[in-house]
Amino acid sequence: MKALMAVATAMTLVGCASVTNDTTHGVRVDTRQKSGAVVAGADCVATNDYGSTSFKSGGTQALRRSAGDMTIVCTKNGEQPANARLISRPNGGMAGNIVLGGVIGAVVDHNRGTAYTYPTWVELVFGESLVFDRSLQTGDAVVKGLAAGSVTAKANAPAPGRSNTTSHQCMQQLPGAIC
């Protein structure tokens, strides 16, 4: 009987594990020429460790969340490709998940990628490679892209004020981990 109760309790907690975020979230992708002129309707492909999604620029696209960074390449006849890397960061749902689903909830959302969010609005520029970091976004405003060559931090670098502690260390609550 105790074993049955333990299994039932564990299944209840797993049910809470993904209540804070969906597996996708909206990312508005706009494209511009170097002159600043808007170029709507460019063909774009977003890719992360869960696969690729094709869409047109000039709107919001539901993209699969992941702990890994996302690349976006947009093309339009007569233009050099616009390249972007979107850096994924933990979202507020992770803290809520720890409260609602305990460690199980946090681990499940980490493994599913739902504990992470990309910038919600980016503007790619044809002929440039830019990096967009979620930690630099204020509200729902467009995130300023940084030239890829000027970014010396590796993918998934810690957000300002954070350590280089891996999320695995944070998940295990190891001593000295700043999460």
Among residues 49, 118, 39, the alpha carbon closest in space to that of 84 is found at: 118
Contacts of 81 (CB under 8 A, 6+ apart): 73, 74, 75, 126, 127
Residue type, 124: L
Element (H, E) at 90: strand 89-90
The C-alpha R_g of the chain, in whole angstroms, comes to 19
What are the chain's domains?
A: 21-91+113-153 (2.60.40.1120)
**Which pLDDT does position 44 carry in this prediction?**
99
- Put simply, whether the predicted model's pTM sits higher than 0.75 gets the answer no
pLDDT in tens, 98-154: 666 566 666 665 656 567 889 999 999 999 999 999 999 998 899 999 998 775 444
Cβ atoms of residues 106 and 97 within 8 Å: yes
**Which pLDDT does position 121 carry in this prediction?**
98
CA distance 126 to 95: 38
